[in-house]
Structure 1
């Protein structure tokens, strides 16, 4: 069972590392943020990662959507992941 969770942990660490990086020049209109809710509070918005590469809106959206799909597809995940256009907001 522990080996099944390994990709989730690696993805979590990767997303955390990406979110800790400073932006690389994307504007607010080109930036996407990956959020998740909480098992105990479905209305909670928890920041997972920011996608703000200088490669533009389509690139950032595609990467955010891909990360969302990977997180959501993990077995046993009870939280919801989603992307929003713009910078992080509570």
Structure 2
């Protein structure tokens, strides 16, 4: 789900769609998403982290290049920029 699919000022963020509406539930959902994205992008040398307290994901290459994304659709474009390859 993108950020456009929820009401502005809604407490639930898109990382937590379907997760319990609690801080722990949202953090767990974001961590699960980061873990799944890391699995999918591992072949390209990317790692995805969910920094505590942030409402974004952090993509990182083994060489230290990084990008912060706020929407799921931004992950692929950030991965392209970081790896300089077509995905």
Same fold (TM over 0.5): no
Higher normalized contact order (CA 8 Å, seq sep 6+, divided by chain length) = 1
More strand by share: 1
